[in-house]
Structure 1
Amino acid sequence: MSKIKINQNVLILHLTILIWGFTGILGNLISISAIHLVWYRVLIAAISLWIYLAVSKQQILVKRKDFISFIMVGGVVGLHWVLFFYAIKVSTVSVALVTLSSLTLYTSILEPLINKKKIALMDMLVGVVIIMGIYMIFQFESNYIEGILAGLACAFCASIFSIANARMVKKSSATVITFYEMLGAFFWVSVFMLFSGDFNEKMVLNQSDLIYLLILGVLCTAVAYVLGVAVMKELSAFTVALTTNLEPVYGILLAMLIFGQKETMSLGFYGGAAIVLGAVFFYPYLKTKIEKRKQDLVIRKIY
């Protein structure tokens, strides 16, 4: 692959992550509740992905067993987004994005447990560092405890569906999986709204909400997803994982730029955020270094 093509894909990857970071901004700008916001988002995303699959003439039918799995995981995705946008609305974009970074901590514990493997010592150490950073944020931002707890729960859900998707993507198309997960999220959120009475509340959108929701559903969900999958075919998994850790950084910078004083936090928050983001950012790098060293030792023993 030429150096120019690699650079183009890296730029596309950064653009995709910037778009993902913009999701939190839109969640703050949209005036409707978190549950209604997610209902509209997954509906728009499902329609957009269906159009994409139809235009690209991809096989959309799946086995019954896979269909049930996709729909169930979609429920977790829907809960994840409801918690994420709720965290934004009761705190700030910055708080929601930093607590979402605890995804690395949850995954380092849950993935070995689910796959019946031993938890790596380095994973545990990184987890401890992340806990220290989150504890520091708790200490200095006690007025945002509800948002912090929602963000942590949101990250837990993200870990669950990420582990599930890592298994399912080996057998099915990533785009098809996402399409059915959006349908699943729409179904489960609708069921919840039916029993909670949320459908009885005002769901009429004003002009700005409609525009923001279209951007959120089409650009930040469907288009960004397709771009993300496209670059994964050309770039290494390590490059993608390392660069994706910039999402909270981009999101926080955008929030500070757009919302100004509202997003200004205490020095303690930024200290805790630096600890969390630093651990998350260097985690893939350190893990790759350690695994490479182990491989080198094995090769030396052989020869």
Structure 2
Amino acid sequence: MQENKLKNYLLLHFIVFIWGFTAILGALITIDAIPLVWYRMLLAVVFIAIYFLFKKKSFEIEKKAIFKFIISGIIIAVHWITFFKAIKVSNVSVALVTMSTGAFFASLIEPLFFKRKIQAIEILLGLMVIGGLYIIFNFESQYTLGIVYALISAFLSALFSVLNGVYVKKYEATVISFYQLLFGVLGVTLFLLFTNQFSVTFFKLSMSDWFYLSVLSSICTAYAFIASVKVMRYLTPYTVMLTINLEPIYAIILALIIFGEKEQMNPEFYYGACIVLFVVLLNGLIKNSASIRKKIRTKKR
């Protein structure tokens, strides 16, 4: 049992490392954010469909779920577009540190869906995040547009996560993912059609772009999602949360190794980044300790 737990813990670290590598691939792929997301979602749908066929899983869903998956699919598409846009106009470090504000946005959105009051500690942590971002804004003003895109992406990521927190109680996680990706790519396709962006050059990609897109859609999207669902059956939410918070750290270290000087920032950036990442970690610790106390009280009853 202990060996199985260790195996899944190491697998979780590998998954988080893969998620961190997503940002690196976004910087390496030369095409713009919108076609990048279109290719990523399209290829990921194909890979997950192959997984469904291999596992003989049903594609069937109830009709009333379709509208939910259309909305959430478009949200995840725009989230990815703004995320990769942030990387393109700034760099990996700026995009990922700013994306860490997603936990703060989730704490504001979650009460609306789960009908609970916003806690004072969440407001305090949110103000600390704003303080960290203020330091980054002040000393890295050339990346303002990237920070704005990343903030939009973080908000949409939080909204998407909260919606999935509702959906996963009723639908299977792999089914949710498949249809969200499917409707997301259909939404991007319609946008590209209406804006006349499909052309011969749109489909002419370099060999390196095809390779990076294949890795992004198969390993970083389809595989990572399916593997993360499996891991969560064996590890506690506390362990999962702590490990996922390492994603921006893994990615920033990778970016410094791969891109060198392009990713080197002023010392003040790292001060602000440390504040943001500390708040994200602290928020997770507080939430999970509260969840554990609640479970203990329920058992005592």
CA contact (8 A) 2:237 2:288 kept: no
How many Å separate the matches in 1 of 2:184 and 2:4? Answer: 36
Partner Cα separation in structure 1 for residue 297 and residue 66 of structure 2: 44
1:183 aligns with 2:182: yes
- Letter of the structure 2 residue corresponding to residue 97 of structure 1: L
1:234-245 alignment to 2 at 5 Å?
Answer: 234-245=234-245
Give the number of aligned pairs.
300
Aligned pairs for 1:263-274 (under 5 A) are 263-274=263-274
CA gap 1:188/1:131 in 2 versus in 1, 3 angstroms: same
Equivalent residue number for residue 215 of structure 1: 215
Over residues 209-253 of structure 1, what are the superposed CA-to-partner deviations in whole Å (9 max), with x where a residue is unaligned? 000000000010001111111100111112112211111111111
Match of 1:153 in 2: 152
Matched, 1:252 2:248: no
**Quick one: which amino acid aligns to residue 224 of structure 1?**
A
Tell me how far apart the structure 2 counterparts of residues 155 and 196 of structure 1 sit (CA, whole Å). Answer: 26
Residue by residue over 1:1-36, the C-alpha shift from the partner in whole angstroms, topping out at 9 and shown as x without a partner, is: x21111110100000000000000000000101000
With 119-128 and 173-182 compared, the bigger mean Cα shift is at: 119-128
Give the whole-Å Cα distance in 2 for the aligned partners of 1:72 and 1:184: 8
Q: 1:299 to 1:67 in 2, by over 3 A?
A: closer
**Aligned partner of 2:169: which letter?**
K
Shift of 1:286: 2.4
Rounded Cα–Cα distance in structure 2 between residues aligned with 1:272 and 1:148: 13
In structure 2, the residue matched to 1:89 is 88
Q: Kindly report the root-mean-square deviation, in angstroms, between the aligned alpha carbons of the 2 structures.
A: 1.7
What's the offset of the Cα at 1:289? 3.0
Question: One-letter code of the match for 1:164?
Answer: L
1:196 matched residue in structure 2: 195
Please report how far the alpha carbon of residue 283 of structure 1 lies from its aligned counterpart in structure 2 after TM superposition.
1.5
1:289 maps to which residue? Answer: 289
Contact 2:43 2:218 in 1 (8 A): yes
Amino acid at match of 1:265: M
**2:28 matched to which residue of 1?**
29
1:139 counterpart = 2:138: yes
Gaps of 5+ in 2: none
Change (3 A) 1:266 1:52: same
CA distance in 1, matches of 2:283, 2:294: 17
1:230 aligns with 2:244: no
What TM-score results when the alignment is normalised by the length of structure 1?
Answer: 0.95
Q: How has the CA–CA distance of structure 1 residues 299 and 12 changed in structure 2, closer, same or farther, with 3 Å as cutoff? A: closer
Q: Percent identity?
A: 44
Distance 2:73 2:135 in 1: 33
Structure 1 range deviating more: 4-13 or 117-126? 117-126
Moved >6 Å (runs of 4+):
294-300
Structure 2 counterpart of 1:246, one-letter code:
L
